[in-house]
Structure 1
Amino acid sequence: MRIGELAAQAGTSKDTIRFYEKIGLVSGQRLANGYRDFPAETVAWLHYVRTAQTLGFSLAEIARTGDALREAPDTAEALSALFEEKIHVVDARMAELTALRAELAERVGTGCPLRPARQPG
């Protein structure tokens, strides 16, 4: 299938598909006329990529685990470890953001918010 048809069926742009091809998320075959030709299963893969991004996975994470996940059955067991790992990343980021929020709240009303926080005393 040509890139325009793939883009329409996957609900994305041709530029996005070209970018994904550049970083190795999808691959198409070049025809003699120079057009890209993608296998039909690329549509499902692009839907998977979009869902993974919605769940907070970066393109690098998707690319790193993509081959294994394409082969994995759609079962809870096949994806649970990946989701557990992502939950730990999210928890760590939430802790960082909570600390950042506390630091910002402490600096409200201090005049210059870029000076070191006042030490109690």
Structure 2
Amino acid sequence: MPAPLPTQPDDLSIGDLAAATGVSRDGLRFYEARGLIRARRRSNGYRAYPLEAVELVRYIRTAQQLGFTLAEIGEGMTQVWQQPDTDAAVTALLREKLISIDARIASLQAMRDAVATRVGLPCPLATT
């Protein structure tokens, strides 16, 4: 269960965000370096994240668990946030991912079948 959020609006420290999302501080810095999340800097130089970053990081983590790369997530987030119907935009991304996964499964099945037909056959490189 995620840790409770602080009561200060629009001002999560990196530790607060890490505790609320289960993503390490290094992971959050990595997401920030990739442009997936943004922080402003406090007067002391520390990062300060808006409360919305919690949902954004959870979105990123879920997308990763579904097989999306960080590049795909970054592109997809841009597309999703620009659409008036974000549910439809996410559904479209998921459909595209299903097509990609099905193509990979078909390719792997063909490779498996090719290997299976060679099991037990003599090595084609062996000399007789």
| TM-score, normalising length: structure 2 | 0.78
What are the superposed Cα offsets for residues 7-27 of structure 1, whole Å, 9 maximum, x if unpaired? 000111001001001111111
Residue 54 of structure 2 corresponds to 43
Q: Is the 8 A contact 2:20 2:54 kept in 1?
A: yes
Pairing 1:13–2:24 present: yes
Residue 44 of structure 2 corresponds to 33
CA distance in 1 between partners of 2:121 and 2:47 (Å): 59
Question: Could you tell me how far 1:111 is from its partner in structure 2?
Answer: 5.7
CA distance in 1 between partners of 2:106 and 2:18 (Å): 38
SS of alignment partner, residue 69 of structure 1? helix
Pairing 1:59–2:70 present: yes
The percent identity for this pair of structures is 45
Pairing 1:80–2:91 present: yes
Structure 2 gap ranges (5+): 1-11
Question: Could you tell me how far 1:33 is from its partner in structure 2?
Answer: 1.3
Residue 113 of structure 2 corresponds to 102
Question: Could you tell me how far 1:74 is from its partner in structure 2?
Answer: 4.9
Q: How many residues align?
A: 113
CA distance in 2 between partners of 1:70 and 1:39 (Å): 17
| TM-score, normalising length: structure 1 | 0.82
What value does the CA root-mean-square deviation take over the aligned residues?
Answer: 1.9
Structure 1 gap ranges (5+): 117-121
What are the superposed Cα offsets for residues 25-63 of structure 1, whole Å, 9 maximum, x if unpaired? 111112221211111100001111111112221111100
Q: Is the 8 A contact 2:79 2:89 kept in 1?
A: no
SS of alignment partner, residue 110 of structure 2? helix
Give the direction of change, closer, same or farther, for the CA distance of 1:47–1:61 in structure 2 (3 Å limit).
Answer: same
CA distance in 1 between partners of 2:43 and 2:122 (Å): 67
